[in-house]
Amino acid sequence: MKITGIFILLFLSNFLFSQAQNRWEIQPDRSIRWETGQSIPHYDHIEMSGEQVSVVLRYGVNQDGSFGLERSMIWPMLRTIPNNTHGSLMQRFAVDYPSQLIVNGLTLNNEKVKYMQLDGRLTVVSELSTGYVNTGAARNRKPVPAVELTRTYFPSTDKPMLCELYKLKNITEKRISVIVPNLHATYNTDAQKGVDGSYTMVTAISGNSGLFYLDPNEELTFGASVQAYKTGQSEIKPDILKEEQARKDFVKEVWTKLDFESPDPVLNTAFAFAKIRASESIYKTKGGYMHGPGGESYYAAIWANDQAEYVNPFLPFLGYRLGNESAFNSFMHFARFMNDEYKPIPSSIIAEGLSTWNGAGDRGDGAMIAYGAARYALEKASADEARQLWPLIEWCLEFCKRKLNPQEVVKSDSDELEGRFPSGEANLCTSSLYYDALLSASYLAKELNKPVSLTKRYQSEAASLKKAINNYFGATVEGFDTYQYYDGNTVLRSWICIPLTVGIYEKKGGTTNALFSPRLWTKDGMLTQAGTETFWDRSTLYALRGVYAAGERERATEYLEHYSAQRLLGDHVPYPIEAWPEGSQRHLSAESGLYGRIITEGLFGIRPTGFNSFTLTPQLPDKWDTMQLKNIGAFGKAPFDIKIDRIGNNIKITIIKDDNVVRTYTSKVGKTIEVKL
């Protein structure tokens, strides 16, 4: 029966994997391209962000080969009434600039999209016609391609504006005329609905309007933009080419930092794209730089899970200045709400830092914040920042300690899913995060020269909590020796992966089998609860990281490759998503940070233990001979590299800084070593 069960599991696994077909292909420059061909109609959406704007582009190719686009614009700092979590000015625009062009006295028609490309910008290349060749019968008329049109869309890096660049190329054998209209439309919003009164929105063609003549193969470029501003501000006269260069420079910067190299181009590229989404969604608010989830809902605000827990521990590795600034700023915002009565810190600080949201009660937010702040402080390696964060970390740890139930696990009103699924009086996630926070705090206390007794106390409390977690949550669920998510839980939950991510491995075998069983794993990733259709990428991303950390690298790699190919090259690309069916698979930004942590904390097994020290547990897959992380920004001022090479039955670990080898180690795959820079 066991053998039969294994074959069934393998069959179902292979069946689920076989369903994925790649629509997009990786290019030599790391972009991804979709050659449209016959695989139409097809529609998708992607979110892109800058310091003062975000846009969700809903794009696609229609059955007749034409391009369709709707721009869903969000201006996070143009606040609307009520000024709550969702109070950003939002408006959709479907203006079609190419349809306004006049070529040889005619409008363009019969569009055929050739390909699309993503690289932090959306580029669409098409051919369009102005007339037909008459082959006799009217039904045999054939369109004559006249121009190749390249559209490129991207947000301004620092202005409240979506930028669009259009390039028209004459692909006929004769000279053609092109008229680009001087289009400029202004929209004024209802003053009663804006915190600052009426806002002005503008759609316009920027530069190069008028009559032009193009010889064969000659090109014409013009720009367009969608922007908004408040009373007292002025309309921007954009330099679209300069804005495009700024966007390209941003992408180049984050692609160069924390560069992951492996024999698998899909994983390398998925990691590169995840860095874009994790880094771009940072808004310049009244309350400083604030990393926001996005998704047409969550802007100019921070959350204890998305920011403190998910993405902030990733940002120091990346070494992106605005990322680190936003992380530190988020923790200092949470610190404003410490209190002597130990009432819960709000789950979210919204409206540019001016208000809060706490609609789900205590979600275990204290554990989330302590977990993220302690890891961030160790990785950032700034004694000054660490000293400022220490009171918040101490307060959150004490808050969690006061919430221990008689079985010594942490009580909370809900968890990060905020009541969407049951979480009981005490859930596995909150206690696991508290455990990890205690360990990180013990390392940080030593760096800050706190009393040795405090370091030992945190270590002792962590050891006791680990035992309590295994005793209280450990259970046989649906035949697997794993964890119940809360007392009385009898159905498998995806968050049973959490202990693996914090170094609790007592039930790693049963937990890994449960996670990858057909009860939880689907072609779309991990179900939140067995027997439902709901999946949240965050739990899939945690699970993959945890399974790597537990040493199950072959299974983890198999599933990571499948997941990465689907998210990067499938039908909804190129980033990890929030959930389904809720939110229609929005590209929330912190999930991309969680993807990055699969590599840093899963594959490489990096766990901070000091300002310039960490443990390293490389999980080099059997079919790889090498992997490398370059330009790591954590643990000091100068970036460094970690290179892992297979040498017979061993591995060679090389630490490189300023192109010089500073440390080498000979070890085994899956063995933990101590690294001090």
Mean pLDDT across 3-30: 59
Which of the four pLDDT bands, split at 50, 70 and 90, describes residue 21?
A: confident
Amino acid 407: pLDDT: 98
Mean pLDDT across 160-184: 97
Amino acid 13: pLDDT: 42
Mean pLDDT across 427-445: 98
pLDDT at 290 over 90: yes
Angstrom distance (rounded) from CA 128 to CA 364 = 56
pLDDT at 676 over 70: yes
pLDDT at 351 over 70: yes
Amino acid 84: pLDDT: 96
Q: Largest Cα–Cα distance of the chain, in whole Å? A: 95
Distance of CA 430 to CAs 47, 172, 409, Å?
30, 65, 9
Tell me the residue type at 342. Answer: Y
Percentage of the residues of the chain whose pLDDT score is greater than 90: 92
Amino acid 59: pLDDT: 98
Mean pLDDT across 372-388: 98
Amino acid 10: pLDDT: 36
Amino acid 2: pLDDT: 36
Amino acid 523: pLDDT: 87
Q: What tens digit of pLDDT does each residue of 610-635 get?
A: 999 999 999 999 999 999 999 999 99
Q: What tens digit of pLDDT does each residue of 498-523 get?
A: 999 999 999 999 999 999 999 999 98
Tell me the residue type at 419. Answer: G
Mean pLDDT across 645-659: 96
Which of the four pLDDT bands, split at 50, 70 and 90, describes residue 140?
A: low
Angstrom distance (rounded) from CA 527 to CA 519 = 8
pLDDT at 8 over 80: no
Amino acid 33: pLDDT: 98
Q: What tens digit of pLDDT does each residue of 37-51 get?
A: 888 999 999 999 999
Helix (H, G, I), strand (E, B) or coil at 305: helix
Rounded (10°) angle between helices 537-549 and 590-597: 20
Percentage of the residues of the chain whose pLDDT score is greater than 70: 96
Measured in whole angstroms, the distance separating CA 390 from the mean position of its chain's CA atoms is: 27
Which two three-digit tokens encode residue 447?
A: 């760096």
Q: pLDDT higher for 19 or 495? A: 495
Mean pLDDT across 231-254: 97
Amino acid 132: pLDDT: 64
* Among candidate residues 262, 207, 217, the one with its CA nearest the CA of residue 239: 207
Q: Is the dihedral of CA 124, 36, 61, 274 positive or negative?
A: negative
Q: What tens digit of pLDDT does each residue of 200-228 get?
A: 999 999 888 999 999 999 999 999 999 99
pLDDT at 6 over 50: no
Q: Rg for the chain (alpha carbons), in Å?
A: 26
Distance of CA 107 to CAs 66, 68, 143, 617, Å?
14, 17, 13, 62
Mean pLDDT across 589-605: 98
Kind and range of the H or E run holding 174: none
Amino acid 9: pLDDT: 40
Mean pLDDT across 64-82: 98
Mean pLDDT across 392-410: 98
Q: What tens digit of pLDDT does each residue of 95-114 get?
A: 999 999 999 999 999 999 99
Amino acid 4: pLDDT: 34
Angstrom distance (rounded) from CA 75 to CA 272 = 26
Which of the four pLDDT bands, split at 50, 70 and 90, describes residue 138?
A: low
Amino acid 133: pLDDT: 53
As a whole number, the mean pLDDT across the chain is 94
**CA angle, corner 514, sides to 589 and 521, nearest 5?**
50
Angstrom distance (rounded) from CA 564 to CA 521 = 14
Which of the four pLDDT bands, split at 50, 70 and 90, describes residue 584?
A: confident
Amino acid 18: pLDDT: 42
**CA angle, corner 526, sides to 524 and 529, nearest 5?**
125
Amino acid 5: pLDDT: 38
Contact at 8 Å (CB) between 77 and 52?
Answer: yes
Which two three-digit tokens encode residue 375?
A: 């890891």
